[in-house]
Chain A
Amino acid sequence: MVAQIDLRRLHALLDVGAQLVEVLPAAEYADQHLPGAINIPLKTVSPGTTASLNRTRPVVVYCWDGL
């Protein structure tokens, strides 16, 4: 079960090196995203597209509002 986190917890995770992943389509990412986030659209999540993520560090995913 994936843990849902709020903004305060997000800040704490970023402080310890969490990786931010925006899963919205590329156009929405290009328009505006959280600082330092990378873009892996939901439809493209695969071993290949996630290969650049460091498995020893936390990964935080987000979209527009969780829906």
Chain B
Amino acid sequence: MSPRAACRLEALGFTDVYDYAAGKEDWLAHNLPSEGAAANAPTAGSRLRHDVPTARPDETLAAVRARVDASPYRFALVVADDRTLLGRLRHAALDAAPGTAVHEVMESGPLTLRPHLALADVESHLRVHQLAYVIVTDPEGHLLGTVHR
């Protein structure tokens, strides 16, 4: 729809026209603010927690284990320097040899959701799949946070 609108504007004589083709869905999927009647509706993005321990793939388990033990959680999320989500370290994986590198034992590619999903749908997802939490990322895979039951 927006490509046609952009062409129409050019035909009307506008000379500096751009098409944000990824559109409103992309904007909301980055958990950016919006306006309108539904702007404040509860979403995954409105209930994000940001305090789950994170780890770099080249760290040793000993360092990560200390952070997890000092947190209220029993897992860590593995991220690249730009916060791209790479994997998850469940508690059982943290019991491997302390010198083991995170990337050797992490679970790659955990399921993620986008932040603009309605909170009711997220809560239903957690119930149906008997999950304690879900990981939320933007479309480029950057970690935004977690939503918990």
Which A residues contact B (CB, under 8 angstroms)? Answer: 2-7, 9-10, 13, 18, 21-24, 29-37, 40, 42, 45-47, 50, 53, 55, 57-67
Contacts and interface: CB of A to CB of B under 8 A. Distances in A.
B36 A33 contact: yes
Interface of B: 1-10, 12-28, 30, 32-39
17 contacts: A2-B6, A2-B19, A3-B17, A5-B20, A29-B36, A31-B38, A32-B37, A32-B39, A33-B35, A42-B4, A45-B9, A58-B18, A61-B2, A61-B6, A61-B18, A64-B25, A65-B25
Contacts, number: 135
A23 B18 CA distance: 13
A66 B34 contact: no
- The listed residue with most B CB atoms (<10 A of its CB), out of A45, A55, A62, is A62
Contact of A65 (B4, B23, B32): B23
B20 A32 contact: no
